[in-house]
A and B are shown apart, each in its own frame.
Chain A
Amino acid sequence: MSVAELKERHKVATETVNSLRERLKQKRVQLLDTDVAGYARAQGRTLVTFGPTDLVCCRTLQGHTGKVYSLDWTPEKNRIVSVSQDGRFIVWNALTSQKTHAIKLPCAWVMTCAFAPNGQSVACGGLDSVCSIFNLNSPVDRDGNLPVSRMLSGHKGYVSSCQYVPDEDAHLITGSGDQTCVLWDITTGLRTSVFGGEFQSGHTADVLSVSINGSNSRMFISGSCDSTARLWDTRVASRAVHTYNGHEGDVNAVKFFPDGNRFGTGSDDGTCRLFDIRTGHELQVYYQQSGINEIPHVTSIAFSISGRLLIAGYSNGDCYVWDTLLAQVVLNLGQLQNSHEGRITCLGVSADGSALCTGSWDTNLKIWAFGGIRRVT
């Protein structure tokens, strides 16, 4: 077949794809008989309301000398790992604010970090396209640095996000600027599976975020600059299980809803959305007009342990706490006293759900906890 004929087929195939996508969109609209807020209002749910001292900043973790880019809680104890533009990762005791480790990274351009399920190892990745694993129990060298215990090399682009597979200290999933996600075997340092890429059906732009299903660790979600989120089964790398359309900008953050059957997204289009993984329905859009011309991007999201709250950090320094059911902002942590002085880049809720940690361009991390009694109906 000549190039001219191939180009003609390409044109026809593109039109068919666009037509099918439009038909899918129309059919989905017909199935969207309500959204979560509409349903909750019909059920008579009342809004969560916070008083001025209800959700308070009770710790400020100071120590980084550059913008904080990523943080992660340990699954068990109240420790946090954070990485920063200063080229270091720090492990904090969230209760005492003590730093138990402050380690210089081999590549200062770090973008993501994650704690192993056993709390003994930390993974960091960034512009060097490598995910480095550190064993926190290893002896430090003369300069006080931890040696890298394993380097996960293979990505052809920056490592934007990483997460250990729950309850598996030897497996990690990374998202990358090379448009792929990879499942790694840390013991060998080898790639077990590559999701997407040049010859497989996957993201068509940089992957910015990943989230593994806590209820079924074979499933994970990735968010990308191609404005989609995709659901993957780690047993099937050749294609995504489902692609979720709706956003109109880069999907910067993805996080599973606590029940494992839904997930949230945050995007450059200024919205957060809730999708159902099985049906593909877009169940809710969370958007509030900020009143200024430029729409702030959503940089990070987290769900509270019950799913009642969706916390979202924005590029303008806001940190909205959304009532997930009624899709309204109930608190702006960015405007509270003692809040961050810069953009909030990362969020995480502790394993027991009793505290929220935020990391910011102001170089600090802050811990937020509830300080009162509130009725919820």
Chain B
Amino acid sequence: MAARPGCSSSVPSLPPPCPKSPPEYPDLYGRRREAAKVQMLEREIGFLEEELKSLDGLQPASRCCKEVADFVVANSEPLVPTHQRGNKSCRFWKWLCGMSCFSLSWVCCCCCCCYSACPVHLELPCSCNCNSCSPCKCCSCPRCSVRKCRCFSCPKSDCCRGISCCSRCCTFSFPSCPSCSCCSWPSCSCCSWPRSSCCSWPSSSCLKCPKVSGCFSCNCKDICCDPCYLCY
């Protein structure tokens, strides 16, 4: 406290306040944390010793490698099918589809398994080499575990729905955007979703019009059915 004005300076000034240092408490939290770490390490030591013991009598890696190789070889691989798939009937369908895409896209469609609503229901022969298979629908043999054919169902199977099916239904109008009438492909611009303005997106169910890019596998250059996975 400052001396009042007029007072003599004989009153000694008090030292500035100096708070005491806090007492040294034991670092309980730090000790417990350290103890927990030690406990975890000792547990890890136990696990490692167990694992070291388990290695005695463990089979060598070559046995595991054999199992891997045997498994791979025993199972067919759809992404790399065997040469046996190229039987005569499959080659016929492949040729037919290659021709049909120019003028009979619905056949192409059907041969690519558009069996749901197409007026003509063609079935690919089962190429699974499974003797017990009954004549199977393409890609859906109920008994055979081996994949039969390599194509997915023609995407037009959804648009057909029993209504003027598959006839070059790249004038795909189902499902149409409920809020616009512009989904008459190929002029539709609304399906550049979500950037379009004619669809009241995001509340509409405007879906992307299938863009025709030609059947890839059959090399047809003309406007074709929607690109099926593999065109026979």
Contact = CB atoms under 8 A, between A and B. Distances in A.
A232 to B, nearest CB: 14
Interface stretch (A33-41, A110-118, A150-158, A312-320): A33-41
Contact of B35 (A1, A21, A65, A98): A1
B76 interface: yes
30 contacts: A6-B31, A20-B48, A20-B49, A28-B55, A31-B61, A32-B60, A34-B62, A58-B216, A58-B230, A59-B229, A65-B195, A95-B155, A96-B155, A96-B210, A99-B207, A102-B202, A199-B36, A201-B40, A258-B71, A258-B75, A279-B58, A279-B61, A281-B61, A281-B64, A283-B65, A309-B77, A309-B79, A353-B79, A355-B229, A376-B82
B44 A17 contact: yes
A339 to B, nearest CB: 14
B222 interface: no
Contacts of A145: 202
Given A279-B58, A309-B79, A257 B208 contact: no
Interface stretch (B9-17, B117-125, B130-138, B145-153): B145-153
A188 to B, nearest CB: 31
B67 A374 contact: no
B31 A3 contact: yes
The range of chain B's interface size is 35 or more
A10 B38 contact: yes
Contacts of B153: 95
Contacts of A65: 194-195
A59 B30 CA distance: 58
Nearest to B41: A13
Given A34-B61, A143-B203, A306-B72, A97 B210 contact: yes
B72 A324 contact: yes
A34 B65 contact: yes
Contacts of B45: 13, 16-17, 20
Contacts of B204: 144
A369 B229 contact: yes
Nearest to B77: A306
Contact of A95 (B76, B152, B175): B152
Contact of A374 (B27, B51, B80): B80
B67 to A, nearest CB: 7
A193 to B, nearest CB: 19
Interface in B153-210: 153, 155, 158-159, 175, 193-195, 201-204, 207-208, 210
Query: Size class of A's contact patch?
Result: 35 or more
Given A95-B152, A96-B210, A309-B77, A3 B68 contact: no
A370 B149 CA distance: 11
A375 B82 contact: yes
A27 B52 contact: yes
A149 interface: no
A370 B150 CA distance: 7
A194 B151 CA distance: 43
Interface in A266-292: 274, 276, 279-281, 283
A78 interface: yes
Contacts of B78: 304-305, 352-354, 370
Contacts of B62: 33-34, 39
Interface in A136-193: 140, 142-145
A356 B217 CA distance: 17
Interface string A93-108: 1111111101010000
Contacts of B194: 63, 65, 102
Contact of B52 (A20, A40, A199, A375): A20
Contacts of B208: 62-63, 97-99
A23 B159 CA distance: 64
Contact of B202 (A7, A143, A257): A143
A9 interface: yes
Nearest to B31: A3
Given A43-B69, A54-B80, A63-B193, 12 more contacts: A3-B27, A3-B31, A36-B65, A56-B216, A58-B216, A93-B158, A96-B210, A96-B226, A102-B202, A305-B75, A305-B79, A370-B78
A370 B80 CA distance: 7
Nearest to A368: B79
B51 A24 contact: yes
A289 B84 CA distance: 36
B130 to A, nearest CB: 15
A307 B210 contact: no
Interface string B12-46: 00000000000000010011001111101111110
A355 B151 CA distance: 10
Sorted from nearest, which 9 A-B pairs have the closest CB atoms?
A13-B41, A39-B65, A306-B75, A20-B48, A96-B155, A375-B83, A306-B77, A6-B34, A144-B203
A371 interface: yes
Contacts of B77: 304-306, 308-309, 353, 376
B152 A355 contact: yes
B65 A10 contact: no
Contacts of B34: 3, 6-7, 10
Nearest to A281: B61
A48 interface: yes
B76 A283 contact: no
Nearest to A307: B72
